[in-house]
Amino acid sequence: MNREFTVHMLNEQGKQKAGAIAQAFDECLDKLKAVCPESREFSITKTKLEEASFFAKKSMANQVDNNAPA
């Protein structure tokens, strides 16, 4: 299977890093909610943060030392 489509099973270190990434994006969104009104533009902002979070986690998961043994 092409590497782009493989599933990554994370070890405990990887799970902790995934949690840290999620926490960082959650904090960012909370800070933005405090200063940005609900609007079409803010909905796009939330979508882009979700995309960025996904790719940050994928980047971390691609590191072999964060994967569970096969």
Q: With H, G, I as helix, E, B as strand and everything else as coil, classify residue 65.
A: helix
**Threshold 0.85, pTM exceeds:** yes
Residue 44, classified by CB atoms within 10 Å of its CB into exposed (0-12), middle (13-18) or buried (19+), is exposed
Asked if residue 69 lies in contact with residue 12, where contact means CB atoms within 8 angstroms, the answer is no
Q: What is the pLDDT of residue 70?
A: 78
The span from the CA of 44 to the CA of 46, in Å, is 5
Which tens digits make up the pLDDT trace of 22-58? 999 999 999 999 999 999 999 999 999 999 999 999 9
Express as a percent the part of the chain with pLDDT over 70: 100
| Mean pLDDT value across the chain | 95
Which tokens belong to 32?
A: 């933005």
List the beta strands (DSSP E) in the chain.
Answer: none
Residue 14 corresponds to which tokens in the numbers above? Answer: 């990887």
User: Mind listing the pLDDT tens digit for each residue in 5-22?
Assistant: 888 899 999 999 999 999
For the chain, the domains span 10-62
pLDDT for residue 1 = 85
